[in-house]
Amino acid sequence: MYRIEQTDAELLGTQAEIVYELTFDAAERHLLGIELEVTTRGEPCLEFVLPAWTPGSYKIREFSAHFTLLQAEDERGALLPVEWCEKHRFRVHCASAERVRLRALYYGNERSVRTTHVDRWHAFVMPSNCLPYVEGRQQELHHVVLRRIPAEWSTVTTALSPVEVHEHRYGAINYDILADSPIEVGSHTVLRCTIDGVVHELAIVSQEPVQSEWLPDAVGRLVPVVRDFWGGSLPYDRYVIIVHVAPGMFGGLEHARSQVLGVEEAAFREPAAAQRFLRLLAHELFHAWNGKRIRPRELGPFDYTREVYTPLLWLVEGVTSYYELLCAYWAGVLTQRELLQQLALDVERLAHTPGRFALSVRDSSLLAWVKLYAASPDGVNRFPSYYLKGELIAWLLDLWIVSHSEGKRRLRDGLLGLWERTRQRPHEGLTEEEVLHILQESTGVPLAGMLRQWLSERAELPYEEILKRVGLQLLWEHPQPTPQSLGDGIAIAPQLPPRFTGLSLRETPEGLLVEAVEDDSPAAHAGIAVGDELLALDGYRVRTRQQWERILAAAGAPLEVLAASNGRVYRTVLAPELERTARVLIRAEDAAQLQLLQAWLQPPLRAPESLPSAELPWDAGVSR
Ligand SMILES: [Zn+2]
């Protein structure tokens, strides 16, 4: 029976018949030593399986490519025959062995939130990459012992529960929990923040010094908001946040008792970057409920060896992306204006995704393995992201429920219904029909038919109609030139708004390259394609994106483009259009609409009176 809950108290002092020993003798060469000892039960052979993917990231990564089995032996050290059956499955013939001991190496040299990374400075071990499970024995206790840790690595952070602290022995009550519990070993900084007596450990893994002292306070504001959203209690007895800080990193991965984030150093000191960082943290924390516990039936128990297909990633990722914004707003990470700006920006982003007409969000979820996680530069034209479209569907659904219940219900009530059902039958995930049914029953608002349409059809979402019901307005505008002056008011040239061409460009040492072209855009009509190099615009040589955009912004008529495709130069004419930007405005017409707006934005579990007055909708005026 699938189980993802574990408390530290359960594991202390336990014994296990499946024990992994991890060693770090060749860490500087990105090699993790793995010894796995299994007590046999008289089986003629044992089968071992390496996962091919990591839950939360829908891509076959073939971890066995990095796994080398050195040998198998019995308790006396006698070698046992090994037979590979499939690319990620091998069999050890046990004869009369009482214990089978495998020796293996894992090459961990990919830096991401979901892959094992080992070097001379640290080891980040993702058990779902590198630790094979014993077929048929996944439900047993599993222990992990860390041995021969380099002297300068003083710290271990993991959501696995300590079994025997002095020997770095940790445990999981089953393989699913082991697979879901990354381990960070090194000389990282650990900060703590205690909420309701539950310790939240923050491991900051960075080569450069970072100013992280402020982070526990921010986490201390976010966690209670998310907790209150879900009814007021935390679902774990300890929670671990591992933050990898490195250039170019941005992303996160959710686990039941932990999360792993990757950010750049600027996330600790630049306000906009810090805001994105905290939104990401809120997102992964929200997943501790929605995604890890409340989950589609296919996402726990898992088949680790192959793709699993679910139409519900709009719920897992889209709804979480929506509440990432609202929770950040409720925690004071975003202002109300910034919340509305972000929603408008996301409407714009989807409007620049022609693929929303090509594939439904439901199918985008089912096909995540070959769409979102295998996106080609043409992907923008072929499918919508279930994160983005799912977020906007969640927003509209929330407003729909608010407006059809006179502000007495919102999407949160539907999610609390899913949470209640999950707590009743935690071992069993949800089907699509169950989700629609529970959302409707828990809110008392007829929504299943409409939601099914939004999920399975490819039409534009009805923003205007639904926003209007609660006193919001979506406004599309052409940005105007912005006057600029310096010193004591000396006017200089106005800042010109950008023009729309449908091109995404990348500057490279070779030149200005086309990364993507939106279907039915000026660039598509001009025949400009992905991979082309842009050489000149309107007779001027262009080498940077800035040059390209400046010439475009000043242009009033179609321009000649000189470009190269596959080694040969061609000429074409590009007719840029005026850019369109979206704004979400508060246009409540009466007290009833204001009440609906307030119901939408009201923090969970708090009376409306306790809203800070600056955050009342009617004080915000016109917001983008
Ligand atoms: Zn997510």
pLDDT in tens, 109-137: 999 999 999 999 999 999 999 999 999 99
Ligand 1 center from residue 58 Cα (angstroms): 12
175's CB contacts (< 8 A; 6+ apart) are 133, 138, 139, 140, 142
Query: Is the alpha carbon torsion for 376, 381, 384, 387 positive or negative?
Result: positive
Can you tell me the distance from the alpha carbon of 141 to that of 7, in angstroms, rounded to the nearest whole number? 13
Q: What is the DSSP string of 193-240?
A: EEETTEEEEEEEEESS----TTHHHHHHHHHHHHHHHTTS--S-SEEE
Residue with tokens 């080398």: 68
Asked if residue 174 lies in contact with residue 140, where contact means CB atoms within 8 angstroms, the answer is yes
Ligand 1 center from residue 19 Cα (angstroms): 31
Q: Which tokens is 25 given?
A: 């003798």
Can you tell me the distance from the alpha carbon of 517 to that of 75, in angstroms, rounded to the nearest whole number? 61
Q: What is the pLDDT of residue 579?
A: 94
Count of beta carbons in the 10 Å neighbourhood of residue 437: 15
Q: What is the DSSP string of 105-121?
A: EEE-EEEETTEEEE-SS
Asked if the peptide bond before residue 301 counts as cis, ω within 30 degrees of 0, the response is yes
CA 243 to chain centroid:
14
Ligand 1 center from residue 176 Cα (angstroms): 19
User: pLDDT (tens digit, 9 = 90+) per residue, 362-400?
Assistant: 999 999 999 999 989 999 999 999 999 999 999 999 999
Ligand 1 center from residue 574 Cα (angstroms): 38
Q: What is the pLDDT of residue 556?
A: 80
SS3 177: helix
pLDDT at 617 over 60: no
User: pLDDT (tens digit, 9 = 90+) per residue, 186-201?
Assistant: 999 999 999 999 999 9
Ligand 1 center from residue 284 Cα (angstroms): 6
Asked if residue 506 lies in contact with residue 485, where contact means CB atoms within 8 angstroms, the answer is no
Can you tell me the distance from the alpha carbon of 280 to that of 274, in angstroms, rounded to the nearest whole number? 10
Can you tell me the distance from the alpha carbon of 463 to that of 474, in angstroms, rounded to the nearest whole number? 7
Ligand 1 center from residue 320 Cα (angstroms): 6
Ligand 1 center from residue 253 Cα (angstroms): 7
Asked if residue 388 lies in contact with residue 372, where contact means CB atoms within 8 angstroms, the answer is no
pLDDT range class, residue 71, cuts 50, 70, 90: very high
Ligand 1 center from residue 268 Cα (angstroms): 21
Ligand 1 center from residue 287 Cα (angstroms): 7
- Helices first, then strands: H and E counts in the chain: 17, 33
More confident site: 364 or 611: 364
pLDDT at 621 over 90: no
Q: What is the pLDDT of residue 620?
A: 38
Q: What is the pLDDT of residue 606?
A: 54
User: pLDDT (tens digit, 9 = 90+) per residue, 46-67?
Assistant: 999 999 999 999 999 999 999 9
Average pLDDT over residues 220-241: 97
More confident site: 383 or 607: 383
- Which residue, 326, 392, 393, 385, is CA-closest to 353? 385
pLDDT at 555 over 90: no
Ligand 1 center from residue 429 Cα (angstroms): 17
465's CB contacts (< 8 A; 6+ apart) are none
Ligand 1 center from residue 283 Cα (angstroms): 6
Can you tell me the distance from the alpha carbon of 62 to that of 185, in angstroms, rounded to the nearest whole number? 24
Ligand 1 center from residue 233 Cα (angstroms): 21
Query: What average pLDDT is seen over the chain?
Result: 95
Can you tell me the distance from the alpha carbon of 113 to that of 303, in angstroms, rounded to the nearest whole number? 21
User: pLDDT (tens digit, 9 = 90+) per residue, 273-294?
Assistant: 999 999 999 999 999 999 999 9
Can you tell me the distance from the alpha carbon of 249 to that of 265, in angstroms, rounded to the nearest whole number? 9
Ligand 1 center from residue 486 Cα (angstroms): 44
Q: What is the pLDDT of residue 447?
A: 98
Domains of the chain: 8-185 (2.60.40.3650), 189-283 (1.10.390.10), 313-471 (1.10.390.10), 482-578 (2.30.42.10)
Ligand 1 center from residue 282 Cα (angstroms): 10
Q: Reduced to 3 DSSP states, what percent helix, strand and coil does the chain have, rounded to the nearest 5?
A: 35, 30, 40
Ligand 1 center from residue 388 Cα (angstroms): 11
Ligand 1 center from residue 598 Cα (angstroms): 27
Can you tell me the distance from the alpha carbon of 320 to that of 430, in angstroms, rounded to the nearest whole number? 16
Ligand 1 center from residue 260 Cα (angstroms): 11
User: pLDDT (tens digit, 9 = 90+) per residue, 510-548?
Assistant: 899 999 999 999 999 999 999 999 999 999 999 999 999
Ligand 1 center from residue 377 Cα (angstroms): 22
* DSSP conformational letter for 256: S
Q: Quick one: which H or E segment has residue 420?
A: helix 411-424
Can you tell me the distance from the alpha carbon of 536 to that of 254, in angstroms, rounded to the nearest whole number? 46
Average pLDDT over residues 16-42: 97
Q: What is the pLDDT of residue 623?
A: 37
Give the Cα-Cα-Cα angle 183, 188, 189 (nearest 5 degrees).
115
pLDDT at 613 over 70: no
Q: Which tokens is 376 given?
A: 């080609």
